[in-house]
Amino acid sequence: MNIMAFNGSPRKKWNTATLLQKALEGAASQGAATELIHLYDLNYKGCISCFACKTIGGNSYGRCAVQDDLTDVFSRVEQADAIILGSPIYWGTVSGEMKSFMDRLLFQYLLYTEPPGSVFPHKIRTAYIYTMNVTEEIMKEWGYAVNFNRYETALRRIFGESEYMCSFDTYQFDDYSKVLATRFDSVKKKQRHEEVFPLDCQKAFDMGVRLVGGK
């Protein structure tokens, strides 16, 4: 099996990237080949609303017509058995890079039918990992899950089975004394990172196992 993961964070070695890597390790433990792609390394923009992917009989029907760094990525996604998306939460939703990637990835396969259908060539499993600075209580109070559930619905519609996990109250800085962040208790943040984040890593690992059909 081939599992692809996409890091929607500008950081390559921090919370989101770490959890994605753990998920890939879980997949690899079941014999899967894995790949982690950092979206901030790629040159692309969001959907340009050309509707070439919807034009019946057109050269790009069912495929994004824009030629950039995502062109090859989308071809490889069609050969994958599962994909994992990961993003930090900025202002209640995913990063701009991830949102642009999702717009391009999903819209090309969406059928404007009733009910909406998909022209993706086969069913694959998908998963999402969200990291955020806020607590689970604040996440619920501010309604973040509305977006999470919407993305899960979209992924199910286009690809098939999907799931997501969240990592809350994450550790943002190596040294809190160097930034103006008096809202946060750096000692408690560090303690949570040492005690809870490893549990999140295990959840991500288990997610990777499930993606290749494990228990």
List the pLDDT tens digit at each of the 215 positions of the chain: 899 999 999 999 999 999 999 999 999 999 999 999 999 999 999 999 999 999 998 889 999 999 999 999 999 999 999 999 999 999 989 999 999 999 999 999 999 998 888 999 999 999 999 999 999 999 999 999 999 999 999 999 999 999 999 999 898 877 787 878 878 888 888 888 889 999 999 999 999 999 998 55
What is the token pair recorded at 172? Answer: 């943002």
The radius of gyration of the chain's CA atoms, rounded to the nearest angstrom, is 18
Nearest to 64 by CA among 50, 85, 81: 50
Nearest to 7 by CA among 35, 37, 27: 37
Using CA atoms, how far apart are residues 118 and 12, in angstroms rounded to an integer? Answer: 32
**CATH superfamily ID and name for 2-211:** Flavodoxin domain (3.40.50.360)
Provide the residue ranges of all domains of the chain, joining segments of one domain with +: 2-211
Q: What is the pTM of this model?
A: 0.92
Using CA atoms, how far apart are residues 68 and 44, in angstroms rounded to an integer? Answer: 6
